[in-house]
Amino acid sequence: MSDLIMLVSSSQRLTYSTEAAVGQAVGDLIVEIIGRKPAAVLGLATGATMEPVYANLVAAFKRGDVSFAGVTSFNLDEYVGIPTSHPRSYRSTMNALFFDHVDIDKNRTFLPEASVDKPDEAGERYERMIAKAGGIDLQLLGIGRNGHIGLNEPGSAKDSRTRLVELHEDTLRANARFFSDRPVPSSAITMGIGTILSAKQIVLTATGVAKADAVRRATSGGFQADCPASALQEHDKVSWFFDRAAAGLRMAA
């Protein structure tokens, strides 16, 4: 079955037959962007949806199709209350999935400082770092079942910036499988919706039927405070990458 491409206003929605095809397409787009701008500033995300994307980027690097030597990256978020050395911290996750396997300079791979002592200062410092780097060229996003982007939970303000957030119960339940050795972190530092919307280009990926309702709400009806991803409708350069299940399409017989 061929992939489906649907253009909507100034954004594009691309629907692929499988999760693997989504990961390949997003990976190819990032390689293309770095090819045009080797010193690109990437906004990166974690989560299961991102794993095929990073696997494809690592494969492209090993084939010699791309170098990350000039790239600077800013991750969306980091848990509060666990050391960065913990295997489920977002720093450790990014190292294991991506940074350890390519030629990126880890001194230019940034995550929010997960501090509960002075969270406002940590958030403001991260915003300044992004601005000093020239802003984010491409922001990669997943979407939570409750419509969150980054860890901006329902009710987050559309103009919010990097800050300390408390995680909702459904996010804690979704994350529980990753923390069999300790309680699930209940708070994090995350880029705000306003920070995300400041990126020059945004790519959101969603796969699996569990994301279909969040996708439907995120792509229709304008901004809804109970679905933070719906704010992306107001950005003029957003690409939505779905598999058929997330797009709410039935599989072919």
Burial-class residue 239 by CB neighbours within 10 Å (0-12, 13-18, 19+): middle
Catalytic residue check, 86: no
- Render 3-16 in DSSP notation, one character per residue: PEEEEETTEEEEEE
Structure tokens at 105: 């300079």
Cα–Cα distances (Å) from 120 to 124, 153, 174, 193, 218, in that order, read: 6, 18, 27, 16, 28
Look at strands 238-243 and 201-206 and give their pairing: parallel
Among 19, 146, 152, 243, the active-site one is 146
Dist CA 245 CA 77 (whole Å):
27
Q: CB burial class (10 A; 0-12, 13-18, 19+) of residue 78?
A: buried
Within 10 Å of residue 39's Cβ, how many Cβ atoms?
13
Q: Based on the residue annotation, tell me whether 32 is a catalytic residue of this protein.
A: no
Element (DSSP H or E) covering residue 24? helix 19-36
Question: CA–CA separation, 183 vs 186, rounded Å?
Answer: 8
Q: Is 153 a catalytic residue?
A: yes
Please give the single-letter amino acid code of residue 237: K
The catalytic residue among 77, 78, 113, 137 is: 77
Catalytic residue among 78, 113, 127, 153: 153
Kindly report the backbone phi and psi dihedral angles of residue 232, in degrees, each rounded to the nearest multiple of 5, phi listed first.
Answer: -65, -20
Q: Tell me if residue 159 is catalytic.
A: no
Q: Looking at the annotation, which residues are catalytic? A: 77, 146, 148, 153
